[in-house]
Amino acid sequence: MRVKLTLALSDRPGVLLKALEQIAVNGGNIISIIHRRDRITSGYVPVSINVEFPDSTSLERAKKGIETSGIPVMEAETLEKAICTILLIGGVKIEELFRRVHELGSRVAEISMTGGLTSPCIKAVIETPSERLNTILKSLEKLAEEQGALLITEG
Amino acid sequence: MLRCIIVGYGFLGKRLARLLASGAIGDIKLVGVASSKGYIYKEYGLMPGDLPDDLRFLSILKPSPASELIDKRITDLLVELTPTNIRDGEPGLTHIRLALEQGIDVVTANKGPIALAYEELMGLAEKSGAMLLHEATVGGGIPLISLKNRCLAADELLSIKGILNGTTNYILSRMHFEEMTLELALREAQMLGIAERDPTLDLEGVDTALKLVILANSLMNAGKRLSDVKIMGITRITSEAIAAAKGSGMTIKLIGIADEEGLRVAPKLVRLNDPICVHGTLNAVSFNFRILGRLTIIGEGAGESTVSALLNDIYEVVKARSRSNRI
């Protein structure tokens, strides 16, 4: 899995090396490193590192190791997206669908509704970080249950 | 010669009885056939002419329960083909128990006993040294159970996913291609004899769930019951939903899934180019093996093809017993 780690490095020699060591020992393969010297605040330089980790456990171990070395991890964003199509037969409140998708850091890439009020069917394409796909689908399943609709996912 | 009896004289029973009486498998002698009205028995073997559509008018019909035939002294192999009963598996369960306890080999297409009491029946078979083969319970003539147990026994089966019910697949296919409503497609399926007069078990996903339990227990040692399966049928699928799926290069299929998360049956969006996306009354099952990876097998899941599965299981019994010199 590809991840963008944003670290707050103190502007001293050798600090970046400590972070890179933690990534390496946990199997991470570094793709790129970007120093944001233009965004130095209170002596900290934000550094974005794109890394390919073998799995989410390795990522979590690396994050823990970096933080134990005294380097704050500001953000760990998964760069791999999952795209899935869903159908909601019976219809649900569309604003509630958007809210649940957004609150999980994902987005509704496409949405359409057919069948009018008598036989409503919503089709939506959801774009989400891969590791959140199951959580999103569970949340939408609950939404469908609450509103008497039937959720159909890709199988 | 192995002495064989058939209990259950519906479509499968009649077809199989006539084939065996005509000598379709050497070393098998069909000595008895039982229906709900009684049984016929001939020690030296029944001939095709002894097997009319309705046994009631035969002078040799004995109006007694089939259990009288299931006796080690007169039979070596029971083919159990009574109708599936999902509540308690009866009367098939009693017939199979009775046979296995005496060491009589059993071949069956009856889903009820296998789905409800698989572990108990396999335990009985092991204890008495009898064989219990049930390829015909799932996927008609598609060799699902023998494929794993004979050809891929050393690999680990991680998951099963598939279309296991021809009736619902026919209905969903007609909705997809002809833009029919579910009600209309169901009526057409009933007129063609594809759907039963009471299609509840098919439409509500229970038939798929039964087959999934059988596959999971016999191929993955899952130890599951029907009550462990999360089931959602196709009764709420609308033409609008099918059209919406079609617009994205997909369709809706009733899918059974067994994996590390458990067993479930639900309508799913399936891409039209997915190997399991088969239409009409076809079944398709996709296995995921640890080493081999994905393997998909497609075929007719009911009717005449089930006779092929029964014949092959009977042939396996004959082969095994000839090796152990019991013929």
Q: What is the 3-state secondary structure (H, E, C) of chain B?
A: CEEEEEECCCHHHHHHHHHHHCCCCCCEEEEEEEECCEEEECCCCCCHHHCCCCHHHCCCCECCCHHHCCCCCCCCEEEECCCCCCCCCCCHHHHHHHHHHCCCEEEECCHHHHHHHHHHHHHHHHHHCCCEECHHHCCCCCCHHHHHHHHCCCCCEEEEEEECCHHHHHHHHHHHHHCCCHHHHHHHHHHCCCCCCCCHHHHCCHHHHHHHHHHHHHHHCCCCCHHHCEECCCCCCCHHHHHHHHCCCEEEEEEEEEECCEEEEEEEEEECCCCCCCCCCEEEEEEEECCCEEEEEEEECCCHHHHHHHHHHHHHHHHHHHHCCCC
- The C-alpha angle with vertex A110 and arms to A105 and A112, in degrees rounded to 5, equals 130
Domains annotated on chain B, with CATH:
2-141+305-323 (3.40.50.720), 146-300 (3.30.360.10)
Chain A CB contacts of B271 under 8 Å are: 154
Please indicate whether the domains covering A2-78 and A81-152 agree at the CATH topology level. Answer: yes
- Residue B157 Cα, gap to closest chain A Cα (Å): 18
Site from A85, A86, A145, A147 to mutate, B interface, most B CB atoms within 10 angstroms: A85
Q: Does A133 touch chain B (CB under 8 A)?
A: no
Asked if A153 is an interface residue toward chain B (Cβ–Cβ < 8 A), one would say yes
Class of domain A2-78: alpha beta
d(CA B145, CA B133): 9
Choose the closest CB to A115 out of B238, B257, B269: B238
Query: What ipTM does the predicted assembly reach?
Result: 0.84
pTM of the model: 0.85
Question: Which among B175, B230, B269 is the top mutation candidate for probing chain A, defined by the most A β-carbons within 10 Å of its own β-carbon?
Answer: B269
B324 has pLDDT over 90? no
**pLDDT score, position B326:** 67
Answer yes or no: do A155 and B244 touch at CB < 8 A: no
pLDDT value at B327 more than 70:
no
Stretch B173-192: mean pLDDT, rounded?
A: 97
**CA dist., res. B203 & res. B66, Å (int):** 32
Tell whether A155 is within 8 A of chain B (Cβ).
yes
Question: What topology is assigned to A81-152 in CATH?
Answer: Alpha-Beta Plaits (3.30.70)
> Domain extents for chain A?
2-78, 81-152
pLDDT tens profile A85-126: 999 999 789 999 999 999 998 999 999 999 888 889 999 999
8 Å CB contact of A115 and B161: no
**Count of CB pairs separated by less than 8 Å, A with B:** 59
Tokens encoding A75 = 């953000």
Q: How far is CA A100 from the centre of its chain?
A: 14
Contact B241 A155 (CB under 8 A): no
Q: How far apart are CA B314 and CA B27, in angstroms?
A: 10
For the stretch B68-112, pLDDT in tens is 999 999 999 999 999 999 999 999 999 999 999 999 999 999 999
